[in-house]
Structure formats: structure tokens, C-alpha cells
Structure 1
Amino acid sequence: HLCNLKCRHCPFWKKEKLSFSFLQAKNSLKALYDLGVRLVIIEGGEPFLWKDNSYDIRDVVAEAKKLFFSVGITTNGTLSLEANSDIIWVSIDGLKKTHDLLRGESFDRIMANIKRSTHPKIYAHTTINKMNQGEIAEMVKFLSPKVKGLTFQFHYPYSGEADDLVLTFEERKIVLDELIKLKKDEFPIANSYACLQALKDNKWRCHSWMIASVEPDGKLTQGCYIKGRGEVSCKKCGFSAHTEISLAYSGVIESIKAGKKILLSSRRLVHA
């Protein structure tokens, strides 16, 4: 949970900072693989801050690549984005003023790091909330030339955290219709149409057993991302990755194609 930002909508930076050794990381990756996991996303806190003596996050990624067909990193983008992962998601939660209000003054640094990075697959990831809902279209147009693609989810109130940021379903629908239109206009929105439609009312069937997480204390949890991290409310869910994965498992072709495009790297395709 070590992080260099204190985002308004995130509960994790407030948690106890536990050390996690390289050996623990290797063991956790193996435990995930043994459970049936075949792709892994490394999150934080801020993953690029992690170190164990001479080891850093690149060493963890290298170990993960031995097991998983796709390895990603989710980062706040304030540090160098040179990484050996197949994909990097950079959290960007608004245009400069809004982003900096939500996450602390970091927008300009993030944009500079994206521009400098040679990584071929950087995606912007946005959590939509009350503060940024009105500028999503402008954000898409601003970010599209700078990144490989964009993914969106909705703010979730972890145990009441930042409840004032949660959108109503009426507000969700307005934003989702806007994203659908932008996607039709060929902006690189990676969420499938099926996913964007499903998030309007949250009546999609969740296959939460497909997801597993490892906490900083090494505890492995199978099931909903919120499990063990906050109060689980399926009605309030805005985690589009859960939506996309569940739709793909249910045989929705759009979601299968979206996952393939985002997660299958040239590294894996070449060696397939």
C-alpha cells in the first residue's frame, strides 16, 4: 500500500504499510498460478516504489512473465514508466485541475512521463465520479493521441469512503452514452460496447470466482475485488474489468475481443 499520493477516493494509502519481500512476491505469483490465474495485474499503492534490497518491480514482472500470458502494471504515473510489463495502465482522473484536486498535484508530471516513455502499450485508466463526469469527452479527446487506449470504471465507495463522489445510475447512463458515441467515432476507448451498456444498470451476471487478489500481508483471496477490502455492494459496482471478464466468460464476443486486444501482447503471440 506504499504510495506517494493521497488520492481523495482511495482508501489504500491510509492502510498499514507492510513490507513484502521478493521471495513473498514469487511465492504469491506461484500461488495465483496454482489457483488457475493466467494473467496478472500488479497494483499498489504505487508499484514503482516497491523495492527489496536490489530487487524492484521489474524483477517481479520478470518472474510473473515466466508464469502468466499477460502481465500488467497499474500506476499513478508519477515515476518513470519504463517497465518490462506487457501493458501499463496510468490512472488519470480528469483534466489538470480536476485530476490534481482528486489526486494531488501530479497531472503535468504524468503527462511528461507518458511522453518520455518508450513503452509500446500505455493505457489511460479513469475512475469516473461526481467531480470529473462533466469532462469525460474532453478528456478522451485530449488523451487519445497520447496513449494506446483508454479504459473507464466508476467510483466505488469502499466502506463509505468518498460517498459524495458516487454517480447515480441516471448520471452513469449519460456518461456511458457519451463514451459509446465517442467509441463509435473511433476514439480508442478499450471497454467493449457490451461492457459500457451493462454498466448502465448493473444487471450483468458477475463471475467473481474468476478473480483472485493478494494483499500486502500475503493473504490470497478468490472472488470480488472488494472482498476483504470494504463493504461489498453489487448494485454499486463500477469495476468495469469485472464486468468485461464476466461478460467474456458468458460468451459475449465483444468482451472476448476487447480482452484479447488489451491483454494479449506481441510477446505472447510470437511465442504461441
Structure 2
Amino acid sequence: MALKNKVFSLAVNTAITNRIFRNIASQKLDRYLHKAFLAAESNALPTMLEKRYQFVSAMLQGIKNNLDKGYISPATMKKMLSVFIGEDLKTDRLEKKNNAREIYFQKYGEYPPAFCVLSPTQACNLNCDGCYAVSDETANHRLSYETVRHIVRDVHDIFGSRFMTISGGEPFIYKDSGKTLLDLFEEFNDMFFLIYTNGTLITKEVAQRLAQLGNVTPAISVEGYQHQTDERRGTGIHSQVVDAMANLREAGVPFGISVTATKKNVNILLDDYFYDYFFGQLGATYMWQFQMMPVGRGKELLDLMITPRQRVELYHMWEKLIEQKRYCVADFWNSGALTEGCLAYGRWGGYFYINWDGKMMPCVFVPFYQDNVNDLYAEGKTLADGLHSKLMKNGRKWQHEYGFENGHHRENILMPCSIKDNFDNFRKNILPDEAIPENPQAEVIRTDEEYYRFLTEYDRELSHLTEEIWQKTYLA
């Protein structure tokens, strides 16, 4: 094993630093990964393992392309990989992570989540239609810096995780006690952070700081091209986003794109040129796709949700992107094969969400909670205590019954979402009476019958359209 790790590390280092031998080293890495994925001890189906390999292979291809173009600095890339991947090959760090996971298992009878999504502030300098966070520049809710540090320390020490996602609001607005998130990233320099941002505050100076830190990658939100982005986010925002990407390319920081699929832009997302533009011309390394969810300000925008048929078309587009185009794209509903289904509720390998008020929720798109980190910390408890509420346990029970970790029984992995794809079950079996809505808009999820009829009909149609794909592509 030690020899394999050394060979792997050498290939990674060569692919990053040596332009002449990069192609050869990248091809060796790709073959190594393909063999490793298909030989993995896992309950996953062969097609699922193949798609995971294709996704990771596409990410490596994107990194290689941007290294070749000079859009990613080799020095920054080495720093990132030493945090995110390379250091895990060191025995002492791996033992610390595994020890934390085993201690958690011994105490709770299950393994901890892999990461946490944290929104330290609700404030945002934009006011986008359909924002799940109901954010704007007047919002003043935020966590104290000490609470944010406490959360990250729990994730690091109790869960043994070295990865976190930061969302918002707009994360680059956050400031408390003279500290910003850049100070947090510097303190926790053995962790890797993915930060969702509108990009408007990524100046040349911020980009250079991110390059120096080497443990942060921004995922910048777009809606399509200039018209679509400016229509939802405000006039001139697309231009600022393009400038931010230029600043990151100049500093050598790898970045990605975050896009929300709606009826207004779905045709753009079904066109190859959209991906050629952001990956080929603007230098994105990865892309996360979301779908308009009717939560937050989105509740009033049910008509903007893509149809089940459009969702299936996006699924086939995703298959093409990772297999043929080799663009690293993940759709958080259509790409359930990558994650063994729903990642929420603090499940093993999954995550949970904490907002700017400290409310612990199963997911960014499940706006209900039972515990607040401020209360937990005041009582001398930890994040682990908040993962064992009835809401969180109900969600994990459903995940197990649905077959996400069961090699002998599986439901349709193309309908992995507990709330959007299985809404009737969510209301009846997951959402307990004692769960508190995050905000007034969330209460309609539990009580509004029009909302219930809309989503249950959506689920019936989606099931009809995807069951044959599930049976023939994955189970055959």
C-alpha cells in the first residue's frame, strides 16, 4: 500500500508541475482511477461506479486543461491537493481522521457525516428571484466568529472531516469581531473549503489571497449568459462575474460554476455551447447544477420549476457531459449515482446544514430544524447532539429503507431527493410535528394543499419517466 501511495503521489506531482510529462502522467492517473473505482468494495451498482469514475476523470481533465492554459497555478494546485487529497496519504493524518470516525461510531452506532454546509450570514449584496435563503442587503442575521470557529472545530475533530462548504447570503460579505472568512480559512489550513458566491466581491486582491491560502475554491453563480444572469441577479452582474473569473485565472485559483435550472434557462443548459463557453473559454474546472426549489422566495415561483420531462433531458445531458465531453458537472438531483442517493440528514458520507441563526437543518432545501447550535454550545453539547433529533433520524431511516446503503434493495436513484422527489413521504413520515420552520415561507411545505398537490403530481410524472431508465441502465 505504501508503494502504491508513493507511485500515486509521484504521478499527481508530475501531472501538476511538469508540462512535458503531464499528458503521460495524467493518462496513468486516469487508468489507476478507473481500476480503483471498479475494484472498490462497495454496495454500489456497476453503472454507479462507472459514473463516479467518469465524474472524477472529468475533474482531472478539467484541472489538466487549465494547468496547460495557465489558468491554474501549479503552486496553488499543489497546496490544494496537499490539503484535499495528498495529505491523506500520510499515515498520521489518516489515523486521526479514522480515529475520530471510529469514536463517533462507537458512541452513536453509525458513522459521521462527511461535511457540513454553513451559511454564516444571510446578508447579500444582491436580491435574486427565487433565492432559497431569502437574502438581500438588508438582512443582518449572522453567526459570531467564535461560533463559526466552534462549528468548524467540531467538524474537524468530532467528525474527522477535512472539508466544508460555505454558502449564504454572500460569504465574502461576512465579518464579525474584525474577522472575515479568509481568517477562518487561514486558521484551518488543513481543511478544504468550497465557497458558493455571486462572485461580485472577488477582486484581484481577494483572488491573490485565495491563491496564497491554497485551500479554497469558489463556485460562482450564473444563470446562463448575460441576459439570463442580469435578469435574475441584476443589471451588470454578468460583467462582474466575468471580471471575477479573470481575477481568479490571473491568480491561478481553480474555480467552478453554480447554476440553477429553471424554465427560463433550461434550453441553454441543454446546449453544448453553454458548457464549452464556461469550461473552454472562461476556465471553469467544475460545475454544480441545481434545480429551482419552491422554498424561500422560490415558493412563489412554482411555475419556474423545470418539468419532469425537462429534468430527464438534463439527466441525459449530464451523462453526455461527463462521459463524452469530459466536463466535470454534477446535478444535485440527477447525479444521485455519484453519492449513493440523498446526502442530507447528516448521514455517513453526507452532510447537514447550519444557517446564519444557528439552526441545524437536514439540507439547504429542507427548511426545518429542531436544534440550534447556539443553544447546544450554551449547554456544553456539540454538533453531534444536533444530528440525533427526530427530524434527522427520520430522514436517515428513510434513506436506509430507500436503499441508499442496501445492496439488496434499491429504489429509483434518479429520484433521490427526500423532499422534492418523495414529497408525500416527506410530509407523512419524515417531518415531525415538533420540527420548526426556518422562516414563515417554509410553513407552506407542511400545510399548503396546493403546494402538496403540485409536488405529488410532479413526483408521479417523474417516476413514470425515470423508472425505465433506472431499470435498464442501472439494474439490468
TM-score under structure 2 length normalisation: 0.44
Deviations 1:37-82 (CA, angstroms, capped at 9, x unpaired): 622011110011111243112012223434x3x2111100111152
Give the match's secondary structure for 2:329: coil
Shift of 1:7: 0.9
50, 56, 81: which one pairs with 2:180?
56
Contact 1:5 1:104 in 2 (8 A): yes
Please give the alpha-carbon distance, in whole angstroms, between the structure 2 residues aligned to 1:236 and 1:108: 39
1:75 aligns with 2:197: yes
* Shift in alpha-carbon separation, 1:10–1:197, aligned structure 2, 3 A: closer
Task: Identify the residue that residue 421 of structure 2 maps to in structure 1.
Answer: 235
* Shift in alpha-carbon separation, 1:64–1:97, aligned structure 2, 3 A: same
Task: Identify the residue that residue 182 of structure 1 maps to in structure 2.
Answer: 321
Structure holding more helix per residue: 2
1:20 aligns with 2:127: no
* Shift in alpha-carbon separation, 1:79–1:51, aligned structure 2, 3 A: same
Amino acid at match of 1:135: I
* Shift in alpha-carbon separation, 1:207–1:214, aligned structure 2, 3 A: closer
328, 337, 353: which one pairs with 1:213?
353
Please give the alpha-carbon distance, in whole angstroms, between the structure 1 residues aligned to 2:357 and 2:154: 14
Please give the alpha-carbon distance, in whole angstroms, between the structure 2 residues aligned to 1:90 and 1:9: 17
Contact 1:50 1:57 in 2 (8 A): yes
1:126 aligns with 2:267: no
Amino acid at match of 2:167: E
**Which structure has the larger Rg?**
2
Contact 2:124 2:139 in 1 (8 A): no
Structure 2: 5+ residue stretches without partners: 1-121, 370-417, 424-476
1:152 aligns with 2:275: no
Please give the alpha-carbon distance, in whole angstroms, between the structure 1 residues aligned to 2:356 and 2:335: 34
Shift of 1:206: 2.3
Structure 1: 5+ residue stretches without partners: 238-272
Task: Identify the residue that residue 330 of structure 2 maps to in structure 1.
Answer: 191
Contact 1:48 1:75 in 2 (8 A): yes
Give the match's secondary structure for 1:124: strand
Give the match's secondary structure for 2:315: helix
Give percent identity, aligned residues only.
Answer: 19
Shift of 1:157: 1.1
1:136-175 to structure 2, matched below 5 A, reads 136=269, 137=271, 138-145=273-280, 146=282, 147-158=284-295, 160-175=299-314
53, 68, 89: which one pairs with 2:219?
89
165, 168, 172: which one pairs with 1:44?
168
Shift of 1:235: 0.9
Shift of 1:233: 1.9
Please give the alpha-carbon distance, in whole angstroms, between the structure 1 residues aligned to 2:160 and 2:360: 12
* Shift in alpha-carbon separation, 1:50–1:195, aligned structure 2, 3 A: closer
Shift of 1:207: 4.5
Amino acid at match of 2:352: A
Shift of 1:182: 3.5
* Shift in alpha-carbon separation, 1:228–1:34, aligned structure 2, 3 A: farther
Aligned-residue RMSD, C-alpha: 2.8
Amino acid at match of 1:165: L
TM-score under structure 1 length normalisation: 0.73
Amino acid at match of 1:120: V
Shift of 1:25: 1.2
